[in-house]
Structure 1
Amino acid sequence: MSAAIARYRWLALVSYFALFICVVIWQFGTAYSEQSALFRGLFYVLPLLFPMYGIARGKPYTHAWANFILMWYFLHSLTMLYIAPEQRLWAVTELVLTTLAFAGCTLYARHQGRALGLGLKKLKDEKN
């Protein structure tokens, strides 16, 4: 693994796990929410657990599809910035960590996938 790919992996790992910790503390450690603990666990914490094993293991494909899950947190942070001024610090933190995780996962998946020879074949190459 090249130094650049290792940096992308580090960015993805640190920001993803920091986002997980931030969401857990925000949802269970503060008194802001009016929702039940079960709802907060299912809709805010559980989705981050699905790709966690693959991200920890460094699988490029998992890094790629984890971005779909990260978009939920991106939209959540933008919504909270708009509707809940008292939670603005948490929302900004979630927004920054989600953006960093998205960038890290995208760059790692792209470059490590190419290094491993993974990827989609072009249609013109398939026909030949």
Structure 2
Amino acid sequence: MSPTTRFYRYLALGSYIGLLAWVAVWQLLLNTDHSYSLTFIAIIYLLPLLLPAKGMIQGKPYTHAWANFVVLFYLIHGCTVMYAIEAERLYAAIELILVMLMFTGCCVFARRRGKELGLGLTKLKDEMKREREYFEGKN
């Protein structure tokens, strides 16, 4: 693994762990208005972040790629809180920073590591050319 790829892996992993810890601290300790049970809050806010945990720790590029879909929930949450709840804007800003770092780290790591492993997708024109050659050769 190249040093640049390793940097983005650690950026993704560090911001992932930071986001997981921050959401737990924010929702379970700092938020004083618990209109829902702590179990419900933990399921809604923490469970989605635990889904990609194994692949993120193992450094799998595919997991880093789909973890971005999970992190979009936290982007929406942070933007909504930033707009709607003035008292929690600082908390939302921290969440948004961690989300952006994780998103960037995951995107770049998945792309670079996928190329290093030869997992890249072929361009459509190259795929069409290959298929054309294959089917024209059969006639």
Calculate the TM-score normalised by the size of structure 1.
Answer: 0.95
SS in 1 for 2:49: helix
Instruction: Show the counterpart of 1:28.
Output: 28
How far 1:4 moved relative to its partner?
0.4
Q: Which residue of 1 aligns with 2:119?
A: 118
- Spell out the pairing of 1:67-78 with structure 2 (5 A cutoff): 67-78=68-79
When the two structures are aligned, how many residues end up with a matched partner? 128
Partner of 1:107: 108
| 1:86 maps to 2:87 | yes
What stretches of structure 1 move > 6 A for 4+ residues in a row?
none
Larger radius of gyration: 2
- When residues 86 and 119 of structure 1 are mapped into structure 2, their CA distance, relative to the original with a 3 A threshold, is same
So what's the TM-score if we normalise by structure 2?
A: 0.88
2:43 equivalent in structure 1: 42
Deviation at 1:83?
0.8
**2:100 is paired with a residue of what secondary structure?**
helix
Q: 1:91 to 1:33 in 2, by over 3 A?
A: farther
Q: Percent identity?
A: 47
Partner in structure 1 of residue 137 of structure 2 = none
Moved more, 118-127 or 72-81: 118-127
The amino acid of 1:63's aligned partner reads: H
Q: Which runs of 5+ in 2 are unaligned?
A: 131-139
* C-alpha displacement of 1:120: 2.3
1:65 corresponds to 2:59: no
Aligned residue for 1:117, secondary structure, equals coil
Q: Secondary structure at the match of 2:46?
A: helix
CA shift, 1:21, in A, is 0.1
Please tell me the root mean square deviation across aligned C-alpha atoms, in Å.
1.1
How much has 1:101 moved relative to structure 2? 0.2
> 2:94 and 2:103 mapped to 1: Cα distance?
14
